Structure 1
Amino acid sequence: MRIRQSRPEDLEEMLRIYEIARRFMAEQGNPHQWGDDNYPAEELLKEDIREQRSYICEEDGAVVGTFCYWIGEEPSYREIREGEWMNDQVYGVIHRIASDGRVKGIGSAVVDWCLNRHKNLRIDTHEKNLVMRNLFRKKGFTYCGKITVDDGTERFAYQKILES
């Protein structure tokens, strides 16, 4: 699998993948994590592309997954409840991992790719997103507590630090 930065011409495929991901989450008992049928909004994806924090996963030239990643502060991670972050050092942030289901292991490949770029990662997910919570456990993330995202809902927060 190849991972590369998203380009404006990838937007249609990204929207297709997020549509599939929303349907999959609803079928798995998690219909509320991404709120409505428009998350992530097209404008947010365009901003991610402009800010060079949007990525595409390709297999044999086909777009099969997408995610957002950057190194720096995530405002919703400033306050954590019922726990604490493992450190206060600079970290990488992974958001909105999504796949169209054609290729297995995209979440794992994304985490590995991000860990190769930064050894201190933070990520969050909805309590009912058992697929992602299982991935985080499998990849060695530590549950750190609960955070609140922009829409006021709660998320489970995780961190992984690779030793040098």
Structure 2
Amino acid sequence: MEIRPSKEQDLPRMLEIYEYARRFMADHGNPNQWGATHWPPEQLLRRDIAGGNSYVCLHGGRVVGTFFFTAGEDIEPTYRHIEDGAWLDGSAYGVVHRLAGDGSVKGIGEFCISWALEQCGHLRIDTHGDNRVMQNLLGKLGFTHCGTIHVEEDDDPRLAYEKI
């Protein structure tokens, strides 16, 4: 597998992958994280691509996964306030959001998260409380559950994880 920045022409494939991911999450006990709001919206994905923060995962030259990644100082406003815990480290960090695969290849999530961690050495990720698949993956990859954050998209709290 390999990672490259998303291009505008990847957008239809990315939308297919997110549609698959919404169905997968609903079938695995997580219907609300993206399903209720049909997340992520196309205009957000277009902004991510234009901003250079959208990536695709390729297997055999085919796009099989997609995610948002950025790194820097205090880059995620929703991470400024954490409840029921604390972040491990206040230094610059990377963030992965909107990670999704098409289900055709095992290990897409692990590959994408590992790639992001290699880029910055310090990563924060949040996920819905019903997203057991992501929680298990983050545990497998050695992330520490640090507390709870809140996002603007909905009222559901998110579990916050970090790895350095």
TM range (shorter): over 0.9
User: Does 1:77 find its partner at 2:74?
Assistant: no
After superposition, the CA RMSD in angstroms is 0.9
Report if aligned partners of 1:142, 1:159 keep a CA contact under 8 Å in 2: yes
User: Does 1:153 find its partner at 2:147?
Assistant: no
Report if aligned partners of 1:123, 1:158 keep a CA contact under 8 Å in 2: yes
Q: TM-score, normalised by structure 2?
A: 0.96
Q: TM-score, normalised by structure 1?
A: 0.96
**1:18-60: per-residue Cα shift (whole Å, max 9, x none)?**
0000000000010001143631000000000011000001111
- Residue 64 of structure 2 corresponds to 64
SS at match of 1:40: coil
Report if aligned partners of 1:95, 1:123 keep a CA contact under 8 Å in 2: yes
User: Does 1:21 find its partner at 2:24?
Assistant: no
Give the percent of matched residue pairs that are identical in Structure 1 and Structure 2: 53
SS at match of 2:32: coil
The total of aligned residue pairs comes to 161
- Residue 128 of structure 1 corresponds to 130
AA matched with 2:159: F
Moved more, 32-41 or 115-124: 32-41
Report if aligned partners of 1:70, 1:93 keep a CA contact under 8 Å in 2: yes
AA matched with 2:16: R
Structure 1, unpaired ranges of 5+: none
**1:93-127: per-residue Cα shift (whole Å, max 9, x none)?**
00011001000001110111011101110000001
Q: Show structure 1 runs of 4+ deviating over 2 A.
A: 35-38
Report if aligned partners of 1:148, 1:155 keep a CA contact under 8 Å in 2: yes
AA matched with 2:140: K
